[in-house]
Chain A
Amino acid sequence: MQNQLIAACEAKHAKSDIPHFQVGDTIIVHQKLLDGVKERLQTFEGDVIARSGAGARESITVRRLVQSEGVERIFPIHSPRIAKIEVKRAGMVRRAKLNYIRDRVGKATKIKPDPKRQVVLDAAVKVAAVETAMAAAIANKENNTTGESKRAAKRKLKAESTKK
């Protein structure tokens, strides 16, 4: 049993928007990086080979092949530096930790797809795409309430600036 006070300290960090994924799935991790003063996103795509920890302390190990060399990265998934996690492919595995993949070469490193869960994933992606499109459309409409075209707005701006 975890101490309630410790749980209270961690509760602040736990994210609620982490998608459901399992060991064996292929995911894309969007990580925020500080590039000088600017912040930019870096993505890392690979197979989840381990999930460890619980609650806000949970972390995942993601493995991918870069120029036929295995690269593994460990991400604390509740970190504020992780912008987004996308689930790309559902995999079917029989183990909680896929450490055996490290010893495999070539075709043997592939994880068997899980078509049943893949269907659910694809549906979710479609729904999300529609939603974002709708949201974009609504936002667009709100911006153009005056009925002006973009070009007209630009011209107006220019005229104002020359006046000054």
Chain B
Amino acid sequence: MALGLLGTKVGMTQVYNDKDGLVEPVTVLQLGPCPVLQIRTADRDGYSAVQLGFKDKPRKNAIRAEQGHVASGLKSKRKDARLKGGVQLLEKADCEPQRFIREFRVDAPTVKVGEKLAVSDIFGSVKAVDVIGTSKGRGYQGVMRRHGFHGLPAAHGAKKVHRQAGSTSSLASNRGSGRPKKGLKRAGQYGNTRVTIRNLAVVRIDTENNLLLVRGAIPGHNGSYIIVRPTNKYGSTHGIVRDAGPAKNKVVLAKKGK
């Protein structure tokens, strides 16, 4: 896994391509600068990762735990006791409390606690990214809206059931069990879930305003928090493949001899 950044979705617009002047539909993302808050190591935590924060939170709004997570100067009885007991305390970033904190699983982190990561540091040479966000909540929705079912007939003797799912049991794959299959599509909460959009092409990087312009739409409202990482899609069409995928056997087509 590769290190990414945290940020917000600013909104969509269109820009002209530098290459051939065509219009590109882009989503503007504001990413970072993200302070590194903690480095997780396999020895201590059982896994290795980098913890990043995004957006300062006023100190008066942050709870003590949030303040203590980033500041080394905060006094506490427990800390004193631990110091007295000879416990080595973790390094702190010494920044403002952060609103949005997430971890990226990184095998061998090269960053240090307290470092501030900007867009150009992470995405300078990246051609495609994955964006993780929270989709717009649509509330409790029926099967037609939530799953794209066709509903039941409007006429032909249909009585008061036009938007229902129809029969939910007695599916061939579940015969004889006497109850509907697990994971059956039904009405329920639609949206407001974590959604990942992979392999979005990077159109431009604006280091001055910490902006990343990606081609296409991403989930969520404008202003919602997002996680962006270099794409992990094997064989990305945008030219960058992070990890070497499974070794492929080269297919050699036998040429017909004369």
| Complex partner residue of A78 from B11, B13, B16, CB under 8 angstroms | B16
- Taken together as a complex, chains A and B put the C-alpha atoms of A34 and B23 apart, in Å, by 16
Taking a contact as CB atoms under 8 Å apart, the answer to whether B11 and A3 are in contact is yes
Given the known interface contacts A57-B14, A78-B16, A80-B16, the answer about A8 and B209 at a Cβ–Cβ threshold of 8 Å is yes
Interface SS majority for chain B: strand
Task: Tell me the residues in window 200-238 of chain B with beta carbons closer than 8 Å to chain A beta carbons.
Answer: 204, 206, 209, 211, 213, 222
Task: Tell me the residues in window 1-44 of chain B with beta carbons closer than 8 Å to chain A beta carbons.
Answer: 10-11, 13-16, 20-23, 26, 28, 30
- Taken together as a complex, chains A and B put the C-alpha atoms of A81 and B16 apart, in Å, by 9
Which residue in chain B gives the minimum CB-CB distance to A76? B23
- Taken together as a complex, chains A and B put the C-alpha atoms of A56 and B13 apart, in Å, by 10
Given the known interface contacts A79-B21, A81-B21, the answer about A6 and B28 at a Cβ–Cβ threshold of 8 Å is yes
Interface size of B in residues (CB-CB distance below 8 Å): 19
- Taken together as a complex, chains A and B put the C-alpha atoms of A3 and B10 apart, in Å, by 8
Task: Tell me the residues in window 168-225 of chain B with beta carbons closer than 8 Å to chain A beta carbons.
Answer: 204, 206, 209, 211, 213, 222
- Taken together as a complex, chains A and B put the C-alpha atoms of A79 and B15 apart, in Å, by 9
Give the size category of A's interface with B. Answer: 10 to 19
Which residues in B have their C-beta under 8 angstroms from that of A32? 21
Instruction: Confirm or deny: A10 has a beta carbon within 8 angstroms of a beta carbon on chain B.
Output: yes
Which residues in A have their C-beta under 8 angstroms from that of B209? 5, 8
Taking a contact as CB atoms under 8 Å apart, the answer to whether B15 and A13 are in contact is yes
Which residue in chain B gives the minimum CB-CB distance to A59? B23
Taking a contact as CB atoms under 8 Å apart, the answer to whether A6 and B15 are in contact is no
Which residues in A have their C-beta under 8 angstroms from that of B211? 5, 8-9
Which residue in chain A gives the minimum CB-CB distance to B204? A9
Which residues in A have their C-beta under 8 angstroms from that of B204? 9
Taking a contact as CB atoms under 8 Å apart, the answer to whether B23 and A9 are in contact is no
- Taken together as a complex, chains A and B put the C-alpha atoms of A76 and B15 apart, in Å, by 11
Contact flags A79-105 to B (C-beta < 8 A → 1, else 0): 111000000000000000000000000
- Taken together as a complex, chains A and B put the C-alpha atoms of A95 and B198 apart, in Å, by 45
Rounded to whole Å, the gap between the CB of A158 and the closest CB of chain B is 41
Which residue in chain A gives the minimum CB-CB distance to B30? A5
Which residue in chain A gives the minimum CB-CB distance to B18? A80
Taking a contact as CB atoms under 8 Å apart, the answer to whether B21 and A10 are in contact is no
Which residues in B have their C-beta under 8 angstroms from that of A5? 10, 28, 30, 209, 211
- Taken together as a complex, chains A and B put the C-alpha atoms of A80 and B10 apart, in Å, by 25
